[in-house]
């Protein structure tokens, strides 16, 4: 049938399906609106996060930086649904998670978020492969034992450790252990990978290696948010959010950063030209 003869409702339905698809693919994974966190400890209240609004889109790779006590971990705990805000709204994948109770948050965490920690947190008497399988034991979508093994193998392959699946953590280097932890974080196919100082226990060469793994995963479409205090590490990301006193001080994408560097270069050239004249 010629397109112009197609009935309007069909065309409308098709258009609305396309609109839905576009809406889903551009909808932020994380939408924080005016988030506050106040810790009430005895006499004093600590206002750790003070009105943070932040959208993170699918496919972004974001570093959260800031000095000690600036609220990085508090913010990450809320993003990771480990804790909830005192005030403000948080939509994760379009779902309002700011008011969920502990059990509901645990379920969302297991379904949607992969965590990587500074200290790897692997089970020591357990092989790399079994460590990676672990989150699937709590998965709500039932997965057969055969498929669990297959998915764990694929996950280890993604981080370049297929040939170490039978090794125990103490038979692996620090960088390899962190790779296992990353594979474990990926095995439930999360919408979001969160990492708090993932290179904090690694030497600089190994840190670069691990950042290479994160970059590769991000290039494959995985959204990553990472806390780090190391500028060298933050350089591997595409966007840097700096916190100070619980607020966002700056929020720069690589493009801004390159533009800023470009502007600086032009300015220097202009200054040189003036000197030469």
Q: How far is the CB of 39 from Mg ion (least distance, A)?
A: 13
71 scored as a contact of ligand ADP (CB under 6 A): yes
The yes or no reply on residue 46 touching ligand ADP (CB under 6 A) is yes
Q: What is the number of the residue whose Cβ is closest to Mg ion?
A: 73
Orientation of helix 128-137 relative to helix 174-186, angle to 10°: 30
- Candidate list 7, 26, 41, 124; residue touching ligand ADP; CB under 6 A: 41
Residue 39's contacts (CB-CB under 8 Å, 6 or more residues apart) are 45, 46, 48
Q: State the burial class of residue 154 (Cβ atoms within 10 Å of its Cβ: 0-12, 13-18, 19+).
A: middle
User: Which run of H or E residues covers position 255?
Assistant: helix 254-276
Which residue in the set 38, 47, 73, 89 belongs to the binding site for Mg ion (CB under 5 A)?
73
Question: Judging by DSSP bridges, how do beta strands 247-253 and 239-244 pair with one another?
Answer: antiparallel
Near ligand ADP by CB under 6 A: residue from 18, 39, 107, 173: 39
> Using CA of residue 139, residue 144, residue 150, residue 152, what is the dihedral sign?
positive
- Residue selected from 30, 32, 35, 70 as contacting ligand ADP according to rule CB under 6 A: 70
- In the complex, minimum distance from the CB of residue 72 to Mg ion, in angstroms, rounded to a whole number: 5
Give the CA radius of gyration of the chain: 22
Question: Is 69 among the residues that bind ligand ADP (CB under 6 A)?
Answer: yes
Among 61, 72, 85, 158, binds ligand ADP (CB under 6 A): 72
Q: How far apart are CA 226 and CA 213, in angstroms?
A: 13
CB of 36 to ligand ADP, least distance (A): 12
Instruction: Kindly indicate which of the ranges 4-12, 38-46, 128-136, 153-161 contains the residues binding ligand ADP, using the contact rule CB under 6 A.
Output: 38-46
For ligand ADP, which is the closer residue by CB, 41 or 170?
A: 41
CB atoms within 10 A of CB 202: 22
**Whole-number Cα distances in Å, 84 to 74, 133, 168, 221:** 10, 28, 35, 27
Shortest Cβ 82–ligand ADP spacing (Å): 11
Interface residue list for Mg ion (CB under 5 A): 72-73
Residues that bind ligand ADP (CB under 6 A): 39, 41, 46, 48, 66, 68-74
């Amino acid at each position: 049938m010629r397109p112009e003869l197609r009935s309007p409702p069909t065309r409308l339905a098709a258009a609305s399906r396309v609109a839905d698809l576009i809406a889903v693919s551009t909808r932020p994974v994380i939408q924080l609106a005016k988030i506050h966190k106040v810790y009430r400890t005895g006499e004093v209240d600590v206002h750790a996060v003070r009105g943070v609004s932040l959208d993170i889109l699918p496919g972004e790779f974001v570093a959260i930086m800031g000095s000690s006590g600036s609220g990085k971990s508090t913010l990450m705990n809320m993003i990771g649904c480990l804790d909830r805000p005192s005030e403000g709204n948080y939509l994760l994948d379009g779902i309002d998670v700011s008011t969920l109770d502990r059990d509901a948050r645990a379920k969302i965490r297991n379904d949607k978020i992969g965590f990587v920690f500074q200290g790897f947190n692997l089970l020591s008497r357990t092989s790399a492969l079994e460590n990676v399988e672990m989150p699937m034991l709590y998965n709500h979508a039932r997965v057969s034992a055969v498929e669990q093994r297959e998915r764990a193998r694929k996950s280890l392959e993604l981080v370049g450790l297929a040939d170490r699946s039978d090794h125990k953590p103490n038979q692996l280097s620090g960088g390899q252990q962190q790779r296992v932890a990353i594979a474990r974080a990926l095995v439930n196919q999360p919408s979001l990978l969160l990492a708090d100082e993932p290179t904090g226990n690694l030497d600089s060469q190994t840190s670069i290696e691990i950042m290479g793994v994160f970059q590769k995963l991000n290039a494959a479409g995985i959204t990553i948010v990472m806390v780090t205090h190391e500028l060298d590490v933050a350089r591997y990301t595409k966007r840097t959010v700096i916190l100070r006193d619980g607020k966002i001080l700056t929020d720069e994408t690589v493009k801004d950063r390159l533009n800023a560097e470009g502007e600086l270069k032009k300015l220097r050239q202009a200054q040189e030209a003036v000197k030469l004249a």
